[in-house]
């Protein structure tokens, strides 16, 4: 998705930090990250979390002409999800 659309969705998704229902299951979303899509291709969560420490959602800067995506991270379960189509349905419902 283009940067501005991803940024707008990211700003709204920050309201879902904490306990949320994700795909019908109760879960915890520690925070969301807005980042260039290419950065997710071989993402390994542990090194990612060692490099980026945060107490809330954040953005990783990149070339705004490139596609961007959003990931939701659960640090307790050491999992992330980048199903942006589902994230957008969360905003509509």
pTM of the model: 0.91
- What pLDDT, in 10s, does the model give residues 3-57? 999 999 999 999 999 988 878 888 899 999 999 999 999 899 999 999 998 999 9
What is the pLDDT at residue 27?
87
Q: How is residue 65 written in tokens?
A: 């002409």
- What pLDDT, in 10s, does the model give residues 31-46? 999 999 999 998 999 9
Angle at 45 between CA 80 and CA 40, to 5 degrees: 70
Given a contact cutoff of 8 angstroms between Cβ atoms, the answer to whether 16 and 88 are in contact is: no
Residue 39 CB burial class (10 angstroms; 0-12, 13-18, ≥19): middle
What is the pLDDT at residue 19?
82
- Extents of the domains making up the chain: 3-92
**Cβ-Cβ contacts under 8 Å for 91 (sequence gap 6 or more):** 9, 12, 13
């Amino acid at each position: 998705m283009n940067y501005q659309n991803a940024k707008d969705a990211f700003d709204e998704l920050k309201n879902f930090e904490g306990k949320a229902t994700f795909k019908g299951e109760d879960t915890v979303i520690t925070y969301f990250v807005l980042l260039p899509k290419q950065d997710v291709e071989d993402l390994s969560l542990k090194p990612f979390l060692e490099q980026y420490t945060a107490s809330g959602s954040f953005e990783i800067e990149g070339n705004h002409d490139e596609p961007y995506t959003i990931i939701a991270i659960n640090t307790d379960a050491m999992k992330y999800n980048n199903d942006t189509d589902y994230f957008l349905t969360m905003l509509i419902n």
